[in-house]
Amino acid sequence: MELKRVVVTGLGTINALGHNLKETWDNMLDGVSGAGPITHFDASKFKTQFACEVKNYDPLKYFKKPVARKMDKFTQFAIIAADEAVADAGFNLDKINLDRSGVIWASGIGGLQTFRDEIVDYTQNDFTPRFNPFFIPKMIADIAAGHISIKYQFRGPNYATVSACASSSHALIDAYNLIRLGKADIFIAGGSEHAVTEAGVGGFNSMRALSTRNDDPKTASRPFDAGRDGFVIGDGGAALILEEYEHAKKRGAKIYAEFAGGGMTADAHHITAPHPEGRGATMVMKVAIEDAELKPEDIDYVNLHGTSTGLGDIAETKAVVNVFGEHAYKLSISSTKSMTGHLLGATGAMEALASIMAIKTGNIPPTINHFELEPLIDSKLDFTFNKPKKRNVRAALSNTFGFGGHNASLIFKKFE
């Protein structure tokens, strides 16, 4: 069968760099770090005392108090990002087929803060079972997709994807595949996370996964740098409107880029560590390029997973050279996690947004906080260190890799 074309017609986000797309993109190009001391809780006893929190966030600016109380913050971020993306797409909801419009929304963890609060209340009340009736509907990872669907009356496919840090990339790939197979016309797809909590920070600290550079949070996320000591956890969400091309054309929609292909593989190696030679990462990029019916030399920009961890950065850059060969040295590559922090289940959508904006504007966002390159990383690669660069981007590839060995790569290309 002939597969349909899929385009991106709306974007939305809330994260440590901004409460909307414009603020976020402007700060990315300015090389702003979203990291700072944790304000959500007293982190003084934790090994890591900083994160990329959403700054100046007041839920009452977006929701009435009774509504906000029924939603974990990860769901609030989901709705805020989706609202901006829907507005950006310029839909007339009375003129689209809501039965062919769906929502696939990801979260790696879901309502972690809600779970923590309910258990603390339980233990502090002599283990008396007085649980909030909204405990389960606030906590479960699929609830954000449900809220978005209810708000917009999208009655097509509606579910969540959960695959750690690859979660929202999988959400986008699923939406892409359903549209190109003719199963739907429109999807709101993306992911959100609120894991800057005692449990989130404490849990990742126990794994020695987080940076502990408490004396200098803004330079703590330093992908590919010899001095990196772990990732910086971040909060937020990002949404994309994916739409069947003829449907978008008929309604006169603006088009940011074409969703050209996606790849999904598994390392089948270790629950948290990547394959040391980047085996799964190599395969997932090859699968994505093949799915997009492109050649490696057609790619101009790669948004790397680039978490600022010891093993991950080395394995991923090996994989890039494995896939692209000599063309690897002609690519522009960067890790926007150096600015946003690691949004866990939302990171795929966040970095898809950055990749699309690189295509749309001809600007490569930088990898900030570079001081000295890791000796085991190929020095001939162009990491776009510290400053953005102008470049015509024909196609961009974005990587996400999750605990459990889950790998996903997305390819977007300039719309023609």
What does the alpha-carbon distance between residue 263 and residue 267 come to, in Å, rounded to a whole number? 13
The 3-class secondary structure across the chain, one letter per residue, is CCCCCEEEEEEEEEECCECCHHHHHHHHHCCCCCCEECCCCCCCCCCCCEEECCCCCCHHHCCCHHHHCCCCHHHHHHHHHHHHHHHHHCCCHHHCCHHHEEEEEECCCCCHHHHHHHHHHHHHCCCCCCCCCCHHHHHCCCHHHHHHHHHHCCCCCEEEECECECHHHHHHHHHHHHHHCCCCCEEEEEEEECCCCHHHHHHHHHCCCECCCCCCHHHCCCCCECCCCCECEECEEEEEEEEEHHHHHHCCCCCCEEEEEEEEEECCCCCCCCCCCCHHHHHHHHHHHHHCCCCHHHCCEEECCCCCCHHHHHHHHHHHHHHHHHHHHHCEEECCHHHHCECHHHHHHHHHHHHHHHHHHCEECCECCCCCECCCCCCCCCCCECCCEECCCCEEEEEEEECCCEEEEEEEECCC
Q: For the chain, what's the residue count?
A: 416
Per DSSP bridges, beta strands 50-51 and 36-37 are antiparallel
Check if the beta carbon of residue 281 is closer than 8 Å to that of residue 275: yes
Q: Which residue type, as a one-letter code, is found at position 379?
A: S
Residue 313, both tokens: 């950065």
Specify the pTM: 0.97
pLDDT at 177: 98
Per-residue pLDDT 10s for the chain (416 aa) are: 799 999 999 999 999 999 999 999 999 999 999 999 999 999 999 999 999 999 999 999 999 999 999 999 999 999 999 999 999 999 999 999 999 999 999 999 999 999 999 999 999 988 888 899 999 999 999 999 999 999 999 999 999 999 999 999 999 999 999 999 999 999 999 999 999 999 999 999 999 999 999 999 999 999 999 999 999 999 999 999 999 999 999 999 999 999 999 999 999 999 989 888 889 999 999 999 999 999 999 999 999 999 999 999 999 999 999 999 999 999 999 999 999 999 999 999 999 999 999 999 999 999 999 999 999 999 999 999 999 999 999 999 999 999 999 999 999 999 98
Compute the C-alpha angle 88/90/93, nearest 5°. 125
Known catalytic residues are: 165, 305, 342
Q: How far apart (Å, rounded) are the C-alpha atoms in residues 103 and 105?
A: 6
Do residues 352 and 398 touch, judged by C-beta distance below 8 A? yes
Question: What is each CA distance from 248 to 7, 92, 153, 184, 411, in whole angstroms?
Answer: 8, 12, 19, 13, 19
Residue 348 phi, psi dihedral angles, 5° rounding: -60, -45
Report strand pairing: 301-303 vs 395-402: parallel
Residue-level pLDDT at 126: 85
Q: How far is CA 177 from CA 30, 180, 216, in A?
A: 35, 5, 43
- Residues 6 or more apart from 268 whose CB is under 8 A from it? 280, 405
CA angle 324, 327, 330 (to 5 degrees): 130
